[in-house]
Amino acid sequence: MLPLRSQHTIAKPATVTGFGYWSGKDIQVEFRPADAGTGLVFVRQDIASRPRIAALVANRIETPLRTTLVSNGVSVEMVEHVLAACAGLEVDNCEIWVDQPEMPGCDGSSQAFVDALSEAGIVEQDATRQRLVVTEVTRVGDDETWVEIRPRPKGGLKVKYRLDYGSDNAIGRQTIELKVNPESFRRELASARTFLLESEAEWLRSRGLGTRVTTKDLVVFGDEGPIDNELRFEDECVRHKTLDLIGDFALSGCEIVGQVMAHRSGHRLNAELIRALLAEGEIIGEQRRTA
């Protein structure tokens, strides 16, 4: 097993603006450097007391189609793409100041956040990153949707994701397998966008949700393929589901070492697996948490 790596933060603040897919409101997010051991912490600057919400699975609550965190009655939602960018680039310590309870949707991917963090610069800190080592097979879900993780003696995190929408639509079946590191995340996953079927988009709009979002803001699939848009990858959908998984895994607060296999898994099952791992896995290294 490789030695523990150093923790990282960013060298200077960085800002991303956009609007919320769910609320339709304009939003600004500012990434700020943080001390070693802080972890990833959201700060609601629109509230006078500046409440802090740690990006930990203990703070996650179940909400449809997105990841939401709550602490002391204060929430932030749709955090998975921000968390994926931080985890994918190995930014371990960062304060994420936001002026709304939702993250900006941008283009439906993590690319805007990756660009901002990269522009800010990523720097090593004088502390090691806590590691969660998988020592036995752990699986959650059922025969239709599941995610499991196995030991990986070589170290690192490797993911194989199988997406299956059946053969009667334009998404179909897709599979991706890759070892996750900053280089592969930037190249293979960061720009993969949120997607949904046209019927799902119509259902959301009928309930007054996503009214500001257009087919240019994310990938909406009709019978023949994307509507008014073009794919960035032939298998962009499975890449985005893998991006979501990495964002959800960031809620462990650790570097995870293991081999993941996922079949139609989503946010709920990803979080269930992290809870199981934290209860059963072997954690190496001590790490101070301040939030």
Q: So which residues are the catalytic ones?
A: 267
> What is the chain's Cα-based Rg?
18
- Distance CA(15)–CA(39), nearest Å, equals 19
Rounded CA-CA distance 282/117 in Å is 30
Gap between the Cα atoms of 18 and 264, Å rounded: 29
Tokens matching residue 31: 């990434």
* Distance from C-alpha of 218 to C-alpha of 279, rounded to nearest angstrom: 36
The pair of three-digit structure tokens given for residue 178, joined into one six-digit string:
């890759």
User: CA 35 to CA 33: how far, in whole Å?
Assistant: 7
Give the position of tokens 């720009």: 191
Length of the chain: 291
Of 158, 189, 232, give the one whose Cα is nearest residue 89.
189
Neighbours of 197 (CB within 10 A): 16
Q: In what order do the strands lie in the sheet with 225-226?
A: 195-197, 219-222, 225-226
Residue 202: name the closest of 213, 216, 188 by CA.
213
